[in-house]
Amino acid sequence: MSEGGTGVIELDRPGALNALDLTMVRLMTQALEGWRDDASVRSVVVRSTSPKAFCSGGDIRAVRAAALAGDETAVKTYFTAEYGLNAMIARYPKPYTALIDGYAMGGGLGISVHGSARVVTERAALAMPETGIGFFPDIGASYFLPRLPGAVGWYLGLTGVRVSGAAAVACGLATHYVPAAELPALEAALIGDDGTDPAGAPLARYVGAPPSELTDHLAAIERCFAAPDLGEVWARLVAEDEDRAWADDTLEALRRASPASLAITFDLLARGARAELEECLADELAWACATAFTPDFAEGVRAALVDKDRKPTWSATL
């Protein structure tokens, strides 16, 4: 819908924490295509109707079901549509603001990080948790993760750790930090702006963020994750002395991940650091269409979202 010169997209699948199914992807694409050349629409705001989540990710349960049924067309159709939407957002000619209050994971970052403004609150939790479900950080993550400062993107992509809104601003996943109590007023200002500066003026006061949980670990993240290969990342974590407790927690996170997914992720990030977004998305599409049919993906999604026992049995071990 369009309000006062602003195209508003509402994510309204609360029972699934707004996990992006194919219908949602297509509706978002259709709306953005319609507004792109509409002079009466000066900017776009994406918001959630759920108090818990902006968007918890892609509809990986549906992808798993299609893969188990051997439906290659359905799998490719979904990922092609999703990645096409990501590319459209990244190249969108009008201000695109995502209001993140709650979970934004996986595909939720795909419809926010590529936009011009990503607003987070103290209730926000951002992550790329794919290695824990037998997959890999996709939706253009092989482009934006290695471009985060230092080695933070490698840390986030390999471990799948969740970060707060403050940490998201500090590392560049988000652009503005807004107290949740002020979010309704900001949203009203964005939608009601007179068009002189559709996304900038209401956001101008929300610069910077409080210190985050990452602040004290940035040096260790750089020491351990700025490594030439995955084996060296592991070795540096084992040898880490200055931030031992963090290193132990990080090693445990890596142990919970699919070893195959860790290897794919490291290679994708290494290639993505030297590639354009469209090249990264094309690379990810090829890997997604293959990885969706692997035993680790079926097992990872089963353990996380179907049986929810959180005890996947991977095809290989570290």
Which residues are part of the catalytic machinery? 58, 107, 130, 138
Report residue 92 as tokens: 């969108």
Report residue 74 as tokens: 């359905």
Instruction: Tell me how far apart the terminal alpha carbons of the chain are, to the nearest angstrom.
Output: 49
CA angle 261, 67, 81 (to 5 degrees): 85
**Residue from 57, 238, 23 nearest 130 by CA:** 57
**314 φ/ψ angles, rounded to the nearest 5 degrees:** -85, 160
Contact yes or no for 233/240 (Cβ under 8 A): no
d(CA 126, CA 104): 5
List Cα–Cα distances, 48 to 38, 114, 183, 190, in angstroms: 24, 17, 12, 15
> Who's near 34: CB < 8 A, 6+ residues apart?
none
List Cα–Cα distances, 111 to 8, 34, 152, 159, 317, in angstroms: 13, 17, 21, 21, 33
List Cα–Cα distances, 69 to 72, 75, 286, 314, in angstroms: 9, 10, 19, 21
Contact yes or no for 46/27 (Cβ under 8 A): no
> Who's near 265: CB < 8 A, 6+ residues apart?
130, 131, 136, 137, 157, 158
H or E stretch at 27: helix 22-36
**128 φ/ψ angles, rounded to the nearest 5 degrees:** -120, 85
